[in-house]
Structure 1
Amino acid sequence: MPTKIKRYTVLKSPHINKDSREQFEMRIHARMLDIVAATPETVDSLTKLDLAPEVNVEVRAMK
């Protein structure tokens, strides 16, 4: 999955010097795991992962 990049450009000064700008970017990395033969233990271990609060994990069951 490709990395999504969001770029923001803001003026450094609120009044003059439009040529003076600052750029910020946010990179969003996404990964996907395909588990072919999931057992109840596998699903339990995936839902009980201890990750940082800013890491979003989504578990979906596909047929």
Structure 2
Amino acid sequence: MRIFESVFGAFDHRVLDQSAREIVNTARRTGARVRGPIPLPTRIERFTVLRSPHIDKKSREQFEIRTHKRVLDIVDPTPQTVDALMKLDLAAGVDVEIKL
């Protein structure tokens, strides 16, 4: 039994969920079993900067970057599954990492 583990990451969770649906549909259509998508904890990176370059040390502004992740396991992929997933065009901004 071979398993492909795919980890997806994106800043926008809607784009990430849409890409995960496309991959699940493609894998199931070619005869592979799919586990997931399983949501992983969201990574939040916060930055604090001064609003003014001269004075007002207490006046600050905060920014954050949220990285959403999902895990998807493809169990017993067929050669057609691998070909279909390689040809699949995902949305911009989605980072895909595949482990065997």
The count of residues paired between Structure 1 and Structure 2 equals: 61
Higher share of residues assigned helix: 2
- The structure 1 residue matched to 2:93, chosen from 12, 31, 54, is 54
TM-score, normalised on structure 2? 0.55
1:2-61 CA deviation, whole Å, 9 max, x = no partner?
110001110111111112111100000111111111111212222222123421111222
What CA RMSD, in Å, does the superposition of the two structures yield over aligned residues?
Answer: 1.3
Aligned residues: percent identity?
A: 64
If asked which structure has higher relative contact order (CA below 8 Å, sep 6+), I would say 2
Kindly indicate whether residue 78 of structure 2 is the aligned counterpart of residue 29 of structure 1. Answer: no
Higher radius of gyration, 1 or 2: 1
The residue that corresponds to 2:78 in the other structure is 39
List structure 1 segments (4+ residues) > 4 angstroms apart after TM superposition: none
TM-score, normalised on structure 1? 0.81
The residue that corresponds to 2:14 in the other structure is none
| Alignment gaps of 5+ in structure 1 | none
